[in-house]
Chain A
């Protein structure tokens, strides 16, 4: 797997910390480097800071300390830099967050039209292509509530891809889905990984991690506990805490 990663570092965080109100430390001195085309899987118990880490990377949360650099652009106070990063980092949410008052097509078009300033024809073309890619072109005029969860999440992926991002962040993309719909979403994500998209995926889908992940990060209590290759992590985890977690989730049979 690692052979395909030849590119430069595209995400770099140095000692980032984030504290929510009432002294809840969501992130504590997290340093992370991700190379181009790398698929990094982030796992850990709930409240370990996985989602917060993703949300900091596209500016949804402000970090208190440290620095984030994405594609050589620092995520700092400059409006221009922040906007550039937001447009180059796509994000897929656990609850899809599709816009319920717009059709599937409009959900996807809105980014290209209003951020990329593409004309109608260009935006339409991208929308058509992406919907075909995620396999729901026939739903282009449907509203999100008319779609199944799996279909909605595929639309959400297409919406993020419409911005032609360099990096895709997935925040537990299959956690809100009925079990029989998990597969169709993972298939789309696997295709993306094989095309060479740089991906950070917070998930409990260990099968997915093993199949397409290049590297795994195990987080607990706001810190990175273990960073390892996929095979080593599953077969021979270094940290005691990782072992405990693994035995728990593997024992529970799911994933």
Chain B
């Protein structure tokens, strides 16, 4: 008798006709049937005469059919790319508040985009940093190195030298610049698209490649999927591969630093899609409650594999605005603007370091490549969409900025590009001389039984013997 509809005339309110949904709350099927029968028979004229009658039925709501909404992007393959909905403020137009501002006074920063480099190639506005020439050149070098590294490793995967690869194309500025805001001892809890955190510390590309090839020099002993690097020494927490699980861990690490009265801070990383994970919200609760010294980063590259961001976010304003309910200051920044990323990262890191608590930062960017080597983006978005992305290419923009400032030239750019490619090729040759996944020079199968526990328990000793290693 669920949801039975009837048109009812209430005798106390003559002339008012209402369509009701009703649900029977007593198990009196005979009566219920009789009642329904009566309703059918009398058509639109039912008089609710007795309270006992009402007690058998609970009036639920007007019987308007509900509708189910599934958000979908307006643009799909075959359509012309359209980013007219992305509101991009002029570079330099967003204010830079003091780091100890009341979070309530920072709410506007979650609905704008902090940008430093203008279209004319100048650094403008409050967020402009005083960087020396060496810092600027390093920024460009790191981004170019990461891009060249990606290109070679993507090719190596296509050549069958390893199983899998994930590139950063279009997102190089974020991790390369962010790392420059940290200090030795700080800890990143990265996802799979922040290798710039290592590159910007001159972590050996050779070791990264050994990890990608799962060869005998792989620091992870061939146990992890390619690009799941780990280096405690470089403040780079072991990448999991599960999404958002490391967000609360970053908060916990930061809480531990505060408990220990240390001076180190942590940084968590998550993508736009995985802000939907419960762990994102768990991290925000703990960061908010304990004012953990952590920078919580959201890399919004518009796409979660094939899923557009409306699925993770619904109609909510921005991902950054998720911080507001937790009282966490939230900033939105142009992720393709090296100088803006560095400026915001320093602001957020300073807040953490000064015990002012967590900051949520959304980097607005675009994943110009596939999600991974197992992905074909042309199946779900226009091929031309990356070129139409209004925030441009981070490497090109930064190069043009340096040229405009008189610090760089096309000739030096070409020379640097050639040097970087040489470095990458040299590292690749060294790594491949050790071995690749396909060449078979991978760690011994005996090794998989190690490090499950600090000390191998008897059942694993037996299994290793059984396996014949």
Do A and B interact?
no
Q: Which residues of B contact A (CB under 8 A)?
A: none
